[in-house]
Amino acid sequence: MALKAVRRLHVLRQAALPHLLSPTTLNACAPGSLTLFQGYRHSLSGTEEKLQKRQLCITTREPLFLVAGSICLSHDPSARGAFASLLHGLSSDEERAFKQRLFSRKTSQQVLHLVRSTPHLSSAGAVAVLHRLADLEQDGAKGLKEPEVLLSDPALNKMCLKLQRDAGELDDEVVIRALLGCTRLYLDPQSHLVMRLMSESQVRLNTGRLSIETLCELVQAMFAVDGPYCGILEQAMRQIQNKDPAHWNPSELTSVYKMLAAGLGESGRYQELLNEMNTQALRLSPRMDPVTVSETFEALVMLYQTQALPLVIALCKQAVRHVPNFANTQLSSVLSALMHYGHSDHFLIEALERHVPKIAFTAHPETISRVMQYFGKRRIFSPSVFDAVAESFVYRADEYTTEQVSRQIVALGALGYVPQEAGRLFRKVESVLNARFSHFQPRTLLDLLHACTLLQRFPLNYVSKVFSPFFLQQLQEGSVMDQGVLAQLTQLYITMKLECPFYRGPQFLPKLRVKSFLSPGCSLESLVDPHLYNRVKNGLVDLLGDRTYFASRVLTPYCYTLDVEIKLDEDGYVLPASHVEEVYKRIAVCINGPKRFAANARQLLGKEAIKQRHLEILGYEVVQIPYYEIENLKDKVHTVEYLHKKIFPHTYRLSW
């Protein structure tokens, strides 16, 4: 019997916190037994299918779960009194008022106090209490924050007892939502309450009349209890698949998306169903509200729907309408999904530019940092948003986590934009580093310090710590350091050498430095645009008279790659590219294509700006050839004239 009980504890056993039950809790009730419904037997595996009845003793179950184990059986006299029944009805106003009070509670203690002070609690209200407690108690690590609070509360135990006793009389939706609430609170799968709700759910499922939303909740609950191959789950999934997605409404689509995204849709399971859902969601996207848009976006990411780009574009268009109405978490989900799919929309950017400055001081820090991260990843240049966020950060820095602080500065560094409040902003960043330096993850700290150098703010006080052997060991993942990390460290070292020559701290070891910022895995330089390069190359051949008078893709000792290099002697004459002696002046021609600028403005990216700044310090004369100038030239004659004026503005050109 013990072995059979052990085999049934799947997902919840791994998720629950150990030893949550105290001896006092285990001894709170007398042992009892529960007879399972005939319809539930088929979901059990192996020899369990042969059992028509099963005796469960509360005091003998394994103490690994937060259990309604202190729930007493219906014959226990201690259960009489308050909460005599959950079957009585409340008026709609009373139900609405209770739920408003419930969702205004911010801690489990406040919710439990509300339960104790509500003598007449409906079944729907009891289920809402379970889910509200789960919302407040789940800590994101498959556990509960304060399990002892729930274990020690008699009012909650009495409420669960009434759910167990009245389960046969409750509505289908209430029974299954109660079961889902129990799994979210990690209640023991073999407790009387959970077993009773599971058997009732099987009976309701057998009728075939459950709605899609209710079927989805049942699937989620059974997935948590028995994994993806549970009999009840498979039966519910067959009923869902038998319903044509072409006739589903947005709410039904969202329910199935969320259910599959909770883990059931991993490894490509139910992909055919998802394809049909994606097609229907594309048709329904103009009717979706903010909640549906954000939840659909989130599910598409979690389900790895890489072929759903048309749906992503349609959802993005609908999101434009809802930007002012998105809740903080919803806007964060939408922007995270758009970053995942690499999509941006001109109208969405305009909507965010109107909305974000209004909420910069009031929105959740995660939402603000996601906005900044999105703008940085998609190369969106928006001074109005950047200035508003920078000003709000000065006053709200303590509300941000170290990761959120880093995201904001990294976005500014990516776009190479120094906000109007730069002085106060970086003083606040420095104070955060001083106060919470040990709280930063190594990669997060490196990203932050590197972004500061892109904006010509040099973190001298912290570079010595970054170059220390201990910190470098923390940065290492496995046996080999990531090339992107090595590139950042190399550029940080070069910045100290070139722009802070008075720096005397630890050096970055030569054996760890990358040779080129264009190496695979590095992203500190952008490849030259092939079309623009060919156009400039042909023009330079006509301008200089021969291809030998300039070199292409030249790697400098400081890891930067020059698009074109031209050498001059002391008299200003062009030398052959192979010439290494008597070189008086070097010209670095930067052919800047669209990817070296912001996506929506002629703003050079931070990584390109620092490259040109370092080349000038190294003695190069830097000549920029931006795409928006050379693309307007009509023919080769105009191209040659343009290049002559850009590269040799004070020299008369001879005709070859």
Tracing tokens 């009031």 back to the chain, one arrives at 362
Residue 319 to residue 343: CA distance in whole angstroms: 13
Q: What is the pLDDT of residue 652?
A: 62
Given a cut of 50, whether residue 16 has pLDDT beyond it is: no
- Both tokens of 251, joined, read 């709410």
Tracing tokens 């789950």 back to the chain, one arrives at 233
Q: What is the pLDDT of residue 440?
A: 94
Which residues in 389-525 belong to E strands, given as ranges?
none
Residue 7 and residue 25 in contact, taking contact as beta carbons nearer than 8 Å: no
Q: How confident is the model at residue 5 (pLDDT cuts 50, 70, 90)?
A: very low
* Per-residue CA distances from 164 to 117, 159, 168 (Å): 21, 9, 9
- Both tokens of 401, joined, read 């986590």
* Per-residue CA distances from 375 to 15, 328, 395, 444, 583 (Å): 37, 17, 22, 18, 43
Q: In this prediction, what percent of the chain has a pLDDT beyond 70?
A: 84
Q: In this prediction, what percent of the chain has a pLDDT beyond 90?
A: 60
pLDDT tens-digit profile of 163-180?
A: 888 888 888 999 999 999
Given a cut of 90, whether residue 363 has pLDDT beyond it is: yes
Q: What is the pLDDT of residue 479?
A: 66
Residue 25 to residue 65: CA distance in whole angstroms: 12
Side-chain-facing half-sphere of 551: CA atoms under 13 Å:
19
Residue 86 to residue 89: CA distance in whole angstroms: 8
Q: What is the pLDDT of residue 531?
A: 94
Residue 651 and residue 537 in contact, taking contact as beta carbons nearer than 8 Å: no
- Both tokens of 626, joined, read 């931006």
Which is more confident, 323 or 10?
323
Residue 74 and residue 29 in contact, taking contact as beta carbons nearer than 8 Å: no
Written in H, E and C, the secondary structure of 489-539 is HHHHHHHHHHHCCCCCCCCCCHHHCCCCCCCCCCCCCCCCCHHHHHHHHHH
Residue 112 to residue 105: CA distance in whole angstroms: 10
DSSP state of 595: G
Given a cut of 70, whether residue 512 has pLDDT beyond it is: yes
pLDDT tens-digit profile of 612-654?
A: 999 999 999 999 999 999 988 988 999 999 999 999 987 765 5
Residue 157 and residue 72 in contact, taking contact as beta carbons nearer than 8 Å: yes
Least confident of 52-61, 106-115, 519-528: 52-61
The DSSP secondary structure of 583-645, one letter per residue, reads --EEEEEEEE-GGGB-TTSS-B-HHHHHHHHHHHHTT-EEEEEEHHHHTT--SHHHHHHHHHH
Residue 135 to residue 127: CA distance in whole angstroms: 13
Measured in whole angstroms, the distance separating CA 609 from the mean position of its chain's CA atoms is 29
Q: What mean pLDDT value characterizes the chain?
A: 84
* 3-state class (DSSP) for residue 615: helix
Mean pLDDT of 543-572: 93
Q: How confident is the model at residue 28 (pLDDT cuts 50, 70, 90)?
A: very low
Provide the angle, in degrees to the nearest 10, between the axes of the packed helices 606-617 and 442-454.
60
Given a cut of 80, whether residue 299 has pLDDT beyond it is: yes
C-alpha closest to that of 212 among 181, 179, 171, 258: 258
The overall pTM is greater than 0.75: yes
